[in-house]
Amino acid sequence: MELYDIIFYLFAAITLLSAFIVVTSKNIVHSAFNLLFTFFGVTGIYVLLGADFIAVVQLLVYIGGILILLLFGVMLTNRITSVDIRTGTVHIIPAVIGIGILWGALTAIIAFKTNWIVKPADSMEPTTVGLGNLLLTDYVLVFELLGILLLIALIGAASIARREFEELKD
Amino acid sequence: MNGFPILTLLTFIPILGMIAVLVIPKDKANLAKYIALIATGIQVVLAIVLLSNFNYNAGGIFEQSSFQFIEKFRWIHIKGLSWIGTVKIDYFMGVDGISVPMVLLTAIISFIATLSSWKINKSVKGYFAMFLLLDTGMMGVFVSLDFFLFYVFWELMLLPMYFLIGIWGGPRKEYAAIKFFIYTLFGSVFMLLVMIGLYFSAHETLADGSQVFTFNMLALMDAANYTADGILSPFNPENLRFIAYIALFVGFAIKIPMFPFHTWLPDAHVEAPTPISVILAGVLLKMGTYGILRISYPMFPEITRELMWFIALFGMINIIYGALCALAQKDFKKLIAYSSISHMGYVMLGMASLSTTGINGAVLQMFNHGTITAMLFLIVGVIYDRAHTRGLNDFGGLATQMPVYTGFVTVAFFAAIGLPGLSGWVSEALVFVGSFGVEVIRTLAIISTLGILLGAGYMLWTLQRVFLGNLNEKWKDLKDIDGREYAMLIPLTLIILFLGIYPSALLDVMNTSVNSLVHFLSTNVTNFSISGL
Amino acid sequence: MSELFIINISIAILFLPLLGFAVVILFGKRFPKLYLFEVGIITINLLLSIYVMVVKFSSYINDALVYGFTWIDFGNVPLLGPLNIELGVKIDNVTVIMFFVVNLISMLVHVFSLEYMRGDKRFNRYFAYLGIFTFSMLGIVISHNLLMIYIFWELVGLSSYLLIGFWYEKKSASDAGKKAFIVNRIGDIGFFLGILILFTSYHTLTLDSIFAQIAAGNLPFDSAAWLTATGILIFLGAVGKSAQFPLHVWLPDAMEGPTPVSALIHAATMVAAGVYLVSRIFVMLTADAMLVIAVVGAFTSFMAATIALTQNDIKKVLAYSTVSQLGYMVMSLGVGAYAFALFHLVTHAFFKACLFLGSGSVIHAMHHEQDMRQMGGLRKKMPITYAAFLISTLAISGVPLTSGFLSKDGILAGSLAFGSLTGHWLIPILGFVVALMTAFYMFRLVIMTFHGEPKNQHKFDHAHESPFVMAMPLVILSVLSIFIWYTPLPHSPDAGWFLSSWVKTPHTVVPAELSYDFMISETPVVEDQYSEHAVVHSEKYTEAMHHAHYPAMFLSVFLGGLGILLAFTMYQWKKIDPDKLSNKLSWLYKFSLNKWYLDELYDATFVNPTIYLSKALAWFDNTIVDGIVNGAATVTKFFSAISGWFDTYIVDGFVNATAFFSGFVGIAFRKLQTGKVQTYIVLVVFSVLALIFIISPF
Amino acid sequence: MEVGLSHFLVVSTALFSLGIYGVVTRKNAVMVLMGIELILNAANINFIAFSRYGNFGLNGQAIALFVIVLAAAEAAIALAIVLNIYKTYNHVNVDEIEDLKE
């Protein structure tokens, strides 16, 4: 068992375990917090896969941005004061069965059935330069559109928030 | 006289009359009567001209050369229709020995019917327009030699009759009109089928040599024109000629009317106004038998010979059944309706004999029955105008009250019975001579002689109930017949007397054609065997 | 006197009465006196016929004058060759005699009617009808072919219909007229069928050519049976017209007509037409046909005589006596006594007409009283009528020195000879029995009307002798009943002009094996055998006749006398009371009085069933056949209703169903849209799962 | 056995299933959002794994980048909506928010 495999199993375990807790914990803050560890696990996997730039971006955007956002969401939508900030779940058993079957089917198909055309894993080298070129050559249109998208999202979020401010006013 | 289109004129003058009638303003409506009189008068003159220029010894059943006053023009000529080639239908008219008497009969009866409709007062214009249209339909049937044209006139005759019975008729006029219309239409549907069947199974070679499907009756009569695979062509082993013949025969039999299909006649007659009954009995009944002689016999000679016994059988049934039913009637018009069924039975018996005397007798009987029954209906009309009832038992002793009228009645009744010296007997005698002579239908002829006896029975019984005995007070103020009725009854009486004494005036006209028809039937039978059903 | 001239005169004789009829009918209304025109015409006719008779018997005794023309020509008919129908005229001795008889009696009846019918409101029309009757009767006698005979045959039927139903106010009169016409028509159908057979086999109806072809050996349809059938069928026509057994019922009812009419038509002429027709076709009658004719004739005479015994109406007695005498004539033709039949026809015409006119004058005198039981003792009141009546009665009873004796005796001799030759003894026996009965009922009539005391005093006082116009015909006719006119010797008719030269039995043309052997003459005949002067009889038959002549004469005189004696004892001297006798033999009396119940029998078997059948057929026609038509209409209406229902519910149903179904499904799925986001995701998951399982090939 | 592509795929499917489980079973809207984020990350692992082992070059990673950007935008909008829902309903239980059901 080389080092590479061990690290992989480690990171895999972190992500899946924390994801499991996120999904099953009654306390929303706990799940929010475990989400952090899930993101860290995923970043590790990216590193193992040689996608260094993505790993960093993951760190910044997911953990830095989205997680915080979620935390804000949690804080704003639940009165900390109330004891029960637990969130209910609905009909767990059918969901577990359904998801279990889904997971079994997917893993069976993807992992074992289809024999992917696998290129021998070559040495890892930094990908940022390739990505940069790629973004501004093949995917320039997508790049610009993303820019616009983010702008719209910004305006949207602002407009929704603003309405909230007005009610308070009158 | 070649060139002068006498037949077209003869057929379409009533149409001109109709237009004239429709054009005149509403208030001068009774002008329509005079227009109709003029139109039918011209028709009579033309018919007489036709008769005088008719060459007596031209056979003309199946070969065009011996038909007379032929008029043949291109009527519908569509070239190159996809799969049936060019459609060529001619406006083909001509007369021979069989159709001239019918033309004469139609002209005379129409003229007299116009006279007798002098008293019609309900929407006079409509009446006379319909009347003249009907006249054209009838005349057209007797002169057309193209099956398509024949069918057009045949249908043309139906519509005005429906209105004439339906609007100007008696109490149950709608029922009678509808029954008449649907019955005849039912028949003519069969005729249409056979017509189309024939159309597609025969070729006619045109002047330029091209072969084309045809409705021309004369071409359809000539077996050489038939294709090998036509559905009705004799050369095709499993052809449907037998069924076609039966269908065509049913179509014509309804018009005769033949026994099972006759129930429309009494209703139509009872409800129709007098002039229309005169036309209906005088001319319309002859179309069925004329159709059989003109179409069924020459086009299907071998089947005719095969079925002659059945035609004779139905003829006999008509005679006996009609006479017996007449014996039991209480309504004067219904009695005469059944008597005309019985008399048309003689025509069928004569036709079935396929012998010269038989067919001559049949055609003469068609003419005589036309005149005699027309006179009978006029007689009923005279009483009905005065007494407004047709019940036989309501009358009695009219002889003392209306002696001159009784004189005409006696002539008409004894002509209907078949008293020698009057025209009725000559044709009946010829029919019996003809049918008795043929071994196959001899027994039927013998049984049919019973018809003469029954005829005497119901006619004399009617004469007794209505005219003899002492006068019924209700009728003591009935006045005898007036000038107009004289003008109607005298010509018919003269015809009946004249043909009774000297029948060959008409017989010579039809004799050559009948001989050539009999010749055609006897020779053309050998080379076809009756195809399996 | 060229031959053509005689023919023209005869045709003129034929058409004059028709002219009379037309003139009187058309202008009778305007000129009340027009009937005299008709009487004038008939008198001219009589003179002309006498003239023709004289010329015929003087210069053309042996050859028949023939003139024929084509009536209808069919050109040459396929398979048959040239075919036409000929009409024509043939004048031979018999025709001329009949001309004279018909015209004479017609004239006498016309004269008689002047007085008898005076005051009748349709006086002119009566004479017109007499005119057309005479025309038709002369037509029958003159035509040389069967078709023309048939034409006039029916015209005679028409005129008898008109005359019987003259007083049509009385329902019984119009009924009698109708009955006469229809019964005659039954006979005419038989006659017509005979004509059809002959025309079909010989393509001609001229008697001479038919007889030539039969003589040449080709029989109708090449079978002897058909020849016999033709003979019998034509005889059926005679049965209808001459009132023989099955079809005689119309004659007694015909007494409804005026008495002069009965005298002319129902005694002398029309009824004789049947006998004349059989005599015309006598040559083609086979042995069997003649036997049938003889039997029918004999039976008819016997039956009619028995009925006449008990009748109380004077005219009915005479009517049945006519039927009986006609039976005699037909029997004599049947037994082969051709000449005697015609001789009896002539003599009977005269004395029967005299009897009828006599009864007419009695009825006229007694103000239309016809029942003999009301009459009596008229001898004193009406001497002339009584004298004429007595002579005629003597004649009909066959008392010597009268014409009746001669002709009846000849017939009886003929029947005796026939009996001896062929062994059919029944016919002569019947003949003689009838002779007895005839004498009895005739004298019963005479005694009841003229002798004894008047039974109805009131009517008797008014009775008076008929005026000259009515009496004169009676006298003439009675004079004609004396023997002198027919034969110098009172006892033997052969010597007379009638039998020796005028009327000869034409030789039969029927092949030898079919006719009686005694009919065939041994000596072969030189000229064509059916012309006038053929050999009278074959030797065998003539011998038999001579042998039978005297016994027949004595026997008939004896029986006649016995009959007269019997009548006197019962009615004049009242030794045997007729009523007591009738009570004893009551059923026989009733049987005879009610005319052997034949009328009722015919009504039951023919008339009522036909009327009933016609009612049934009319009902059948209205309900069944019409029912089928209306049924077809209702059936189509029913089917259209069904297809309408089908259309609305089934086809439309489907459409609604789909709509409903989609609606239903829609509602069902709507439940899925719970608004909760998670259910949608669950759906997505499940559908992905389903897809995986469907697509992935494990 | 030596870590290959299938191992990464197994991890991503597990993560994916857990994400769906989260979305499906949790009542709280924010938890649902977290579930979505897990699903997106699972997808990204796949992209990256294939860009490494498949011969797609760097495309896989580019798309993963786009997914991340989108996830961010989506989270922002989602949270704004959740806040609004919270304001109107005072709770964010997804299964009680069903006004859209007519």
User: Do D and C share at least 3 CB pairs under 8 Å?
Assistant: yes
Mutate to test the interface with A, among C678, C689, C693, C694 (most CBs of A within 10 A): C689
Helical residues (DSSP H) of B202-263, grouped into ranges:
217-221, 241-255
| Residue A118, token pair as written in the block | 């696998």
Instruction: Please check the confidence at residue A164 and state whether its pLDDT lies above 70.
Output: no
- The answer to whether the CB atoms of C689 and A105 lie below 8 A apart is yes
Nearest-CB residue to C83 (from B183, B356, B407): B356
Place B82 in a pLDDT band, splitting at 50, 70 and 90.
low
The closest alpha carbon to C100, from C56, C138, C50, C55, belongs to: C50
Instruction: Please check the confidence at residue A163 and state whether its pLDDT lies above 80.
Output: no
Instruction: Please check the confidence at residue A124 and state whether its pLDDT lies above 60.
Output: yes
What ipTM was estimated for this complex? 0.69
Place D85 in a pLDDT band, splitting at 50, 70 and 90.
confident
Structural element, H or E, at residue B429: helix B423-437
Place B473 in a pLDDT band, splitting at 50, 70 and 90.
confident
Whether D97 contacts chain A with CB within 8 A: no
Nearest-CB residue to B456 (from C152, C181, C200): C181
Average pLDDT over residues C93-121: 88
Place C285 in a pLDDT band, splitting at 50, 70 and 90.
confident
Reduce the secondary structure of D5-61 to three states and give it as a string.
HHHHHHHHHHHHHHHHHHHHHECEHHHHHHHHHHHHHHHHHHHHHHHHHCCCCCHHH
Structural element, H or E, at residue C83: strand C81-91
Strand pairing category for C81-91 and C65-77? antiparallel
Average pLDDT over residues C87-108: 89
Place B529 in a pLDDT band, splitting at 50, 70 and 90.
very low
Nearest-CB residue to B468 (from C154, C168, C611): C168
Place C44 in a pLDDT band, splitting at 50, 70 and 90.
very high
Could you state, in order of their start, the residue ranges of all structural domains in chain D?
5-93
The closest alpha carbon to B57, from C203, C76, C70, belongs to: C76
Residues of C in contact with B456 (CB under 8 A): 181-182, 185
Helix (H, G, I), strand (E, B) or coil at B60: coil
Q: How far apart are CA C563 and CA C309, in angstroms?
A: 11
Place C675 in a pLDDT band, splitting at 50, 70 and 90.
low
- The answer to whether the CB atoms of C685 and A102 lie below 8 A apart is yes
Mean pLDDT in chain B? Answer: 87
| Per-residue pLDDT, C526 | 41
B62 inside domain: no
pLDDT tens, residue by residue, C347-358: 899 999 999 998
| Residue B126, token pair as written in the block | 């409509």
Average pLDDT over residues C660-677: 77
Place C698 in a pLDDT band, splitting at 50, 70 and 90.
low
| Residue C207, token pair as written in the block | 């008697």
| Residue D46, token pair as written in the block | 């796949």
- Interface B-C, measured as beta-carbon pairs within 8 A, has a size of 143
Contacts of A37 (CB under 8 A, 6+ apart): A14, A15, A17, A18
B324 inside domain: yes
Instruction: Please check the confidence at residue C536 and state whether its pLDDT lies above 60.
Output: no
Q: How far apart are CA D102 and CA D97, in angstroms?
A: 12
Nearest-CB residue to C618 (from B329, B446, B470): B329
| Per-residue pLDDT, B530 | 37
Instruction: Please check the confidence at residue C534 and state whether its pLDDT lies above 70.
Output: no
Chains that touch D (3 or more CB pairs under 8 A): A, C
Portion of chain D with pLDDT greater than 90, in percent: 6
Place C683 in a pLDDT band, splitting at 50, 70 and 90.
confident
The closest alpha carbon to C502, from C514, C510, C511, C494, belongs to: C494
Instruction: Please check the confidence at residue B468 and state whether its pLDDT lies above 80.
Output: yes
Residue B419: give the domain boundaries.
307-501
Chains that touch B (3 or more CB pairs under 8 A): C
Q: How far apart are CA C136 and CA C17, in angstroms?
A: 9
pLDDT tens, residue by residue, C358-413: 888 888 888 878 888 888 788 888 888 889 999 999 988 888 888 888 888 888 88
Residue B193 burial class via C-beta count within 10 angstroms: exposed 0-12, middle 13-18, buried 19 and up: middle
DSSP letters along C391-431, please? HHHHHHHT-TTBHHHHHHHHHHHHHHHHHHHH---HHHHHH
- The answer to whether the CB atoms of D72 and A61 lie below 8 A apart is yes
**CB interface of D with C, residues 32-61, below 8 Å:** 32
Whether D20 contacts chain C with CB within 8 A: yes
**C478 to B295, B501, C343, C389, C396: CA distances (angstroms):** 69, 40, 17, 7, 11
**Choice between C311 and D89, residue whose per-residue pLDDT is larger:** C311
Give the class (CATH, top level) of D5-93. mainly alpha
B359 inside domain: yes
| Per-residue pLDDT, C522 | 54
Helical residues (DSSP H) of B222-281, grouped into ranges:
241-255, 264-271, 274-279
Q: Of the given ranges (A40-44, C571-575, D45-49), which has the lowest mean pLDDT? A: C571-575
pLDDT tens, residue by residue, C583-639: 777 888 888 878 878 888 888 888 888 888 888 888 888 788 777 878 888 888 888
| Residue D102, token pair as written in the block | 């007519």
Task: Tell me which amino acid residue D22 is.
Answer: G
User: Do A and B share at least 3 CB pairs under 8 Å?
Assistant: no
Nearest-CB residue to D101 (from C674, C678, C685): C674
Q: Of the given ranges (B220-234, B422-436, C96-110, D5-19), which has the lowest mean pLDDT? A: B220-234
**Choice between A90 and A150, residue whose per-residue pLDDT is larger:** A150
Q: How far apart are CA B209 and CA B188, in angstroms?
A: 33
B333 inside domain: yes
Helix (H, G, I), strand (E, B) or coil at C206: strand
**Choice between C108 and C460, residue whose per-residue pLDDT is larger:** C108
- Interface A-C, measured as beta-carbon pairs within 8 A, has a size of 20
Burial B338-375 (b: 16+ CB within 10 A, else e): bbbbbbbbbbbbbbbbbbbbbbbbbbbbbbbbbbbbbb
Instruction: Please check the confidence at residue B340 and state whether its pLDDT lies above 90.
Output: yes
Contacts of B358 (CB under 8 A, 6+ apart): B349, B350, B351, B352, B430, B431, B433, B434, B435, B437, B438
Whether D98 contacts chain A with CB within 8 A: no
- The answer to whether the CB atoms of C678 and D97 lie below 8 A apart is no
- The answer to whether the CB atoms of B324 and C614 lie below 8 A apart is yes
Nearest-CB residue to C186 (from B433, B453, B470): B453
Average pLDDT over residues A109-128: 71
Place of tokens 């071409």: B219
Q: How many CB atoms lie within 10 A of CB C645?
A: 10
B205 inside domain: no
- The answer to whether the CB atoms of C625 and B263 lie below 8 A apart is yes
DSSP letters along chain A, please? --HHHHHHHHHHHHHHHHHHHHHH-SBHHHHHHHHHHHHHHHHHHHHHTT-HHHHHHIIIIIIIIIIHHHHHHHHHHS-TTSS--B--B--HHHHHHHHHHHHHHHHIIIIIIS-------------HHHHHHHHHHTTHHHHHHHHHHHHHHHHHHHHHHHHHHHHHH-
| Per-residue pLDDT, C586 | 80
Whether C673 contacts chain A with CB within 8 A: no
**CB interface of C with B, residues 56-85, below 8 Å:** 71-80, 83
B391 inside domain: yes
Instruction: Please check the confidence at residue B101 and state whether its pLDDT lies above 90.
Output: yes
Mean pLDDT in chain C? Answer: 84
How many domains does chain B divide into? 1
pLDDT tens, residue by residue, C323-341: 999 999 999 988 888 888 8
| Per-residue pLDDT, B526 | 46
pLDDT tens, residue by residue, C433-474: 999 999 999 998 888 888 877 777 777 777 777 888 888 899
Nearest-CB residue to C74 (from B183, B360, B467): B360
B495 inside domain: yes
Helix (H, G, I), strand (E, B) or coil at B411: helix
Mutate to test the interface with A, among C677, C684, C691, C692 (most CBs of A within 10 A): C692
Instruction: Assess contact for C490 and C401: CB atoms under 8 A.
Output: yes
- What is the greatest pairwise CA distance in chain B? 78
Average pLDDT over residues D36-52: 88
Average pLDDT over residues B466-473: 82
Whether C685 contacts chain D with CB within 8 A: yes
Residue C127 burial class via C-beta count within 10 angstroms: exposed 0-12, middle 13-18, buried 19 and up: buried
| Per-residue pLDDT, A120 | 66
Q: Of the given ranges (B212-216, B448-452, C192-196, C526-530), which has the lowest mean pLDDT? A: C526-530
Mutate to test the interface with C, among A102, A103, A107, A112 (most CBs of C within 10 A): A102
Q: How far apart are CA C442 and CA C356, in angstroms?
A: 12
Model pTM score: 0.78
pLDDT tens, residue by residue, A10-53: 999 999 999 888 888 878 888 888 889 999 999 988 888 888 88
Nearest-CA distance from B275 to chain C in Å? 25
| Per-residue pLDDT, C531 | 45
| Residue D34, token pair as written in the block | 């977290």
Task: Tell me which amino acid residue A43 is.
Answer: T
B51 inside domain: no
Place C524 in a pLDDT band, splitting at 50, 70 and 90.
very low
Task: Tell me which amino acid residue C114 is.
Answer: L
Q: How far apart are CA B384 and CA B170, in angstroms?
A: 12
Nearest-CA distance from C639 to chain D in Å? 49
Q: Of the given ranges (B394-398, C148-152, C572-576), which has the lowest mean pLDDT? A: C572-576
Place A168 in a pLDDT band, splitting at 50, 70 and 90.
low
Mutate to test the interface with C, among A101, A107, A110, A112 (most CBs of C within 10 A): A101
**CB interface of B with C, residues 260-289, below 8 Å:** 260, 262-264
**CB interface of B with C, residues 307-366, below 8 Å:** 321, 324-329, 355-357, 360
Task: Tell me which amino acid residue B381 is.
Answer: G
- The answer to whether the CB atoms of C77 and B515 lie below 8 A apart is yes
Q: Of the given ranges (B157-161, C449-453, C523-527), which has the lowest mean pLDDT? A: C523-527
- The answer to whether the CB atoms of C675 and D20 lie below 8 A apart is no
